[in-house]
Amino acid sequence: MAIFRGAGVALITPMHEDGSVNYEKLTEILEEQIAGGTDAIISCGTTGEAATLSEAEHMDVIRHSVRVTAHRIPVIAGTGSNSTETAVKLSKEAEEAGADGLLLVTPYYNKATQGGLYEHYKAVAESVSIPCILYNVPSRTGVTIQPETMARLYRDFENIVGVKDAGGDLAMSSRLMSLVDRDFLLYSGEDGIVLPLLSIGGSGVISVLSNIAPREMHGLCESWFKGDVEGARREQLRALALIRALFMEVNPIPVKAAMNLLGKEVGPLRLPLTEITEENREKLRAEMERYGLLPEGSGRG
């Protein structure tokens, strides 16, 4: 049940100045992503400010993304929750809306045991038929899905097909890949280590950087899959300084600022997220200039 191979974008959710979702702008950036070679749209994940969308908004954004994308590339809906009941409800609705797959973050705050994580994902997987990608991001959720638990879920449920790994632990990722077969989908959840994860059998990345550089992130993965290791290495290393800048403040603060610097007019963030500091905005602008996304000296005068 493969969903995509390459660079999927963890898409931002554009807002009007009053904080409401800007669906006209969402249409525009979806079309730009498709034209830019993005391999999949990930809707309503962390970067999409899912934590501050109401359930109604959450589903409206997913439905809109599915409708606009029209199956030209897959749409993967973020439907995870710290409430299993809510995760099941959102997942069913996303499947009914036509999503091609689900991204399921580990339950946050509860700090479930490995047994609890297994039962949580079992409940969601049994409620839908579309592919499910687990999302391991302990820095945000306070809990890690251990490789043995992921492998067990993969074995037991046909529609649990892989993981977005944002744990940053290459040894743990390698252990996971030793426990599963080659059909398992390992997606990097950190733009700075895409190539290392590809080297142990990864299928690509779910990328923040792809919001502003979709063609480049697609190209990094494509180079690897074509056997151009040196080309993939060059692109990974070239992007590192910009990737660091995109995480100077908590995601998605910098990436939304970056899109606005590009003239995309994607609007503000919802509290408790606040706008990037002026000092960090200038650092971000400088890295975007170095990477070639903005002309040199764009912030002067």
Task: Give catalytic residues, as residue numbers.
Answer: 135, 164
Answer yes or no: are the C-beta atoms of 23 and 65 closer than 8 Å.
Answer: no
In which residue are the tokens 């931002």 written? 12
Closest CA to 98 of 137, 126, 65, 56: 65
Q: How far apart are CA 196 and CA 193, in angstroms?
A: 5
* CA–CA dist 298, 301 (Å, integer): 8
Give just the sign of the alpha carbon dihedral 47, 53, 55, 59: negative
E strand or H helix that includes residue 165: strand 160-165
Q: What is the DSSP letter of 1?
A: -
Could you say which DSSP state residue 96 is in?
A: H
Query: Which helix H or strand E contains 105, and what residues bound it?
Result: strand 101-105
Rounded Cα distance between 261 and 275, Å, is: 13
Q: What is the rounded radius of gyration, in angstroms, for the C-alpha atoms of the chain?
A: 18
